Amino acid sequence: MKQKHYDHQSELGILDYIFNARSVAVVGASANTNKMGHTLLRNILDGGFEGPVYPINPKEPEILGVACYPSLLEVPGDVDLVVVAVPAPVVPSVMEQAASKNTHGAIIVSGGFREIGNEELEAKVMGLAREHSIAVIGPNCQGINYTPNKLCASWPLMTTPGVLGIIAQSGTIAAAMGGWAADENLGFSCICALGNMSGVNETDMLQFLGNDPETKVIALNLEGVSNGKRFLEVAREVAARKPVIVLKPGRTELGAKAAQSHTKSLAGDDRVFDAVCKKTGLIRVDELEEFYDVCKAFCYISQLPGPRLQVVTSSGGSGILAADVAIHQGLTLPEPDPADKEKLEQVLPPQCVIGNPLDLTGDATSGRYGDALAVLAKTDTVDGFLVIFGDPVEGAAETMCEVRQSTDKPIIVAYLGGGETEVVETGKLQKEGFPVFPTPERATRAAGYLYKRAQSV
Amino acid sequence: MKQKHYDHQSELGILDYIFNARSVAVVGASANTNKMGHTLLRNILDGGFEGPVYPINPKEPEILGVACYPSLLEVPGDVDLVVVAVPAPVVPSVMEQAASKNTHGAIIVSGGFREIGNEELEAKVMGLAREHSIAVIGPNCQGINYTPNKLCASWPLMTTPGVLGIIAQSGTIAAAMGGWAADENLGFSCICALGNMSGVNETDMLQFLGNDPETKVIALNLEGVSNGKRFLEVAREVAARKPVIVLKPGRTELGAKAAQSHTKSLAGDDRVFDAVCKKTGLIRVDELEEFYDVCKAFCYISQLPGPRLQVVTSSGGSGILAADVAIHQGLTLPEPDPADKEKLEQVLPPQCVIGNPLDLTGDATSGRYGDALAVLAKTDTVDGFLVIFGDPVEGAAETMCEVRQSTDKPIIVAYLGGGETEVVETGKLQKEGFPVFPTPERATRAAGYLYKRAQSV
């Protein structure tokens, strides 16, 4: 593999040509706003990519104000990465041009290959890629979005930087996860929708993000595994250093059948994959929303060191919902120790129910939360806090920032039933780096996974 | 019970004095915006209540531009309902004044009664209520919000009318459910947060909303049941006519303990309550978000008449997530019959995967959805549709409205991974009366409960 202009980051390997590309050509760039080749060009430009961008289209002098070139070969400068959105039969010639241009990264968004029975065409494209050392993502994929390089070669346009790296076989799951992360200001380092995975596969990406300093947490959506032995090795190695959360649907027979017709993945025995996760320290979740919740929690909190959670709430009803889920997640809600109970009785009004859940009752102010948590901040009897705001509690974010100064225990937040105040305070809490969930159950479940991580490392 | 000015709706009984009140006094109305007595007055005024509103406060000439009266007795006109937000020790005298004023409805928001050990004071208040035939909600409650009477005697302010009636022992659960319903334009007929339930209890409310013509679906959050035999009778009678969805947390030992310390409810054996639900046709859910999702589905769709669901999606990955949940919910995804398959092959491009899930693939337009659903609209092989938009599909709402014209089968929608298009189309779909969910799993689970209803009636 040639690396003549990659000395600065050659250690990251061939994927670097794609993610850290310094110049990008969009082959099949279109002036028609309904075409994928338009969307891709626009998102790369609007996403803020700082290197040169070359639209390739023989019929247009310029698109979106950027000069077009009739072919890759006419581009004056280097092209690190080609993003390909031309019809499938044209893709082999694009690969040949890329080889002539000494390009080593390609994202093939075009569909019309193996997924509809055109195995031969796909084999031809991949043969060229191998021959010329071109790393390929796809074909038939939704592209990549890598915020450290401000490179949104995908859709929809999302640009919020963060520490979450998302690898997905499903473009929809990638886009949904990225969208939620952007909406909540959590952001992401990377979104990679793998498509047919004829070149770069899930294990390559896991290894790449495992080594990527911008990525602290990895979300991995799989339908099948390309090479079990290598996956096992890489997963173990990466999961020892970073939380890797896995959504692998197709757990039921019907789901497995659907997975097979989607990506031709053989799901294998689901219990075997469960065992792989346990062995390697991968954290497996069951559903898409949970996938996002758990990733979010890990972006803020590395783990819950033990199972003992103190629930502090203004809503007794919410405390019950949390308690039910806590038990299912292997967490415990120990009673505060007698000395702490006494102190709590001194600082809290008489209607409060001193226990676990600690019910501050519906007229609780943020000050009352602060008073209660000041007592509990240093206690030895719990490993973390679940703080539930079940009313329009103003100043919640400010109080929680103060509380965080006085404790090193993880704090997970739920906020609900608070109308406009909830919207304001949730936004502030998220901005301050607290994981906030809209229901007690979702918060508690996330806490359970934070504890699972402590058990696996 | 005196009903001299209630001839028009006397059949609804004593609760009518509260929900259909034609005049309201707020005892403890305050000019201080931090006080509950201010919030309640403001929400009643801003909520659009059309009858006279009388703030009662001996120290203020007017609050929020409305003339104050020093006591209930000075109010010139009739007072159907008093909303009470004075300190607990003053409440008995308010009840006496209400009796003198011939008032028959009271919402006692004030806390400081049984929940903190003041059983005696609560008994005194309730003794006066019984003596003078005053229906009481509370004490220690978050009030009521009844949109047919534009009466928001609660918080936060929410005014979106709808067909969902929410009864909750937890004020937070009531507010969260109402908030989500308002945000999604689903709306509600009634929100009632019961508090200590010394007067009106969960069974009274179930009966009231069972007879309320504005309420088509009932959400019931319970921690315990006041009178098992009567509850059983009323539940059976109401559930035969309207879907009643029940969230009764405290299923685990820890949760039950938390419930007991919250509302002193004895949760009883959870399996017994499960049996009660089965016997009466109550639809029991496990978690708060599911509670909302299932209620939402029933507001639009009365039932799924059989278990056979056709999934139509642009996202193969989403189809797998749906398939896994479908099986757990007792649903089936039958293959389309051969004649329909043939027609689908004719109208769809070759990359589509004809089956169940029917995968229209990532470049699907709303037109492609329309073509596929036109073929399937009249099929006998399924009982309903789950339509998943897994990409930014423009025109989704318009297409689904057309599809609905050609089929009488229920349609449930999931929309995800669609960026700004998703926000626009989801809003339109909701406005057009489609239940839309943000993940395939939540949509499928709701479908499962719609089928459970068909099995129970």
CB atoms inside a 10 Å sphere around CB A241:
12
pLDDT at B267 exceeding the cut of 90: no
Alpha helices in B87-216 (DSSP H): 91-100, 119-131, 171-183, 202-211
Tokens coding B276: 């009660």
Determine the Cα–Cα distance for residues B39 and B414; give it in Å rounded to an integer.
Answer: 37
pLDDT at B11 exceeding the cut of 70: no
Count of CA atoms in the C-beta half-sphere (13 A) of A196: 24
Q: In one letter, which amino acid is B141?
A: C
Which of B262, B316, B359 minimises the CB distance to A320? B262
pLDDT at B10 exceeding the cut of 90: no
Q: What angle do CA B118, B166, B147 make, to 5 degrees?
A: 105
Using an 8 Å Cβ cutoff, are A307 and A332 in contact?
yes
Tokens coding B2: 């005196």
pLDDT at B1 exceeding the cut of 50: no
Tokens coding B162: 């709808």
Q: Dump pLDDT digits (tens) for B285-324.
A: 999 999 999 999 999 999 999 999 999 999 999 999 999 9
- Give the predicted TM-score (pTM) of the model: 0.94
Which of A287, A320, A416 minimises the CB distance to B255? A320
Tokens coding A451: 């504890």
- Give the minimum alpha-carbon distance from A326 to chain B in angstroms, rounded to a whole number: 9
**Distance set, CA A193 to CA A137, A239, A286, B192, B357 (Å):** 8, 21, 20, 46, 21
Among B150, B154, B18, B7, which residue's Cα sits nearest to residue B80? B18
Q: What is the pLDDT of residue A432?
A: 96
CB pair distance less than 8 Å for A419 and B157: yes
Determine the Cα–Cα distance for residues A147 and A130; give it in Å rounded to an integer.
Answer: 28
* Among B184, B221, B324, the residue to mutate for chain A (most A Cβ within 10 A): B324
CB pair distance less than 8 Å for A170 and B391: no
pLDDT at B6 exceeding the cut of 90: no
CB pair distance less than 8 Å for A359 and B442: no
Q: In a structure prediction context, what are the per-residue pLDDT tens digits for chain A, which is 457 residues long?
A: 333 333 333 334 689 999 999 999 999 999 999 899 999 999 999 999 999 999 999 999 999 999 999 999 999 999 999 999 999 999 999 999 999 999 999 999 999 999 888 999 999 999 999 999 999 999 999 999 999 999 999 999 999 999 999 999 999 999 999 999 999 999 999 999 999 999 999 999 999 999 999 999 999 999 988 889 999 999 999 999 999 999 999 888 888 888 887 766 665 688 889 999 999 999 999 999 999 999 999 999 999 999 999 999 999 999 999 999 999 999 999 999 999 999 999 999 988 999 999 999 988 999 999 999 999 998 999 999 999 999 999 999 999 999 999 999 999 999 999 999 999 999 999 999 999 999 999 999 999 999 999 998 7
CB pair distance less than 8 Å for B324 and A255: yes
CB pair distance less than 8 Å for B263 and A316: yes
Q: What is the pLDDT of residue B378?
A: 87
Determine the Cα–Cα distance for residues A309 and A332; give it in Å rounded to an integer.
Answer: 6
Sign of CA pseudo-dihedral A15, A19, A23, A25:
positive
Q: Counting Cβ atoms within 10 Å, is residue A234 exposed (0-12), middle (13-18) or buried (19+)? A: buried
> Taking all residues of chain B, what is their mean pLDDT, rounded to a whole number?
93
A70 preceded by a cis bond (ω within 30 of 0):
no
Q: What is the pLDDT of residue A457?
A: 76
Q: What is the pLDDT of residue A439?
A: 98
Determine the Cα–Cα distance for residues B73 and B93; give it in Å rounded to an integer.
Answer: 11
Instruction: Provide the pLDDT confidence category of residue B199 given band limits of 50, 70 and 90.
Output: very high
Question: Could you give the 3-state DSSP secondary structure of residue A258?
Answer: helix
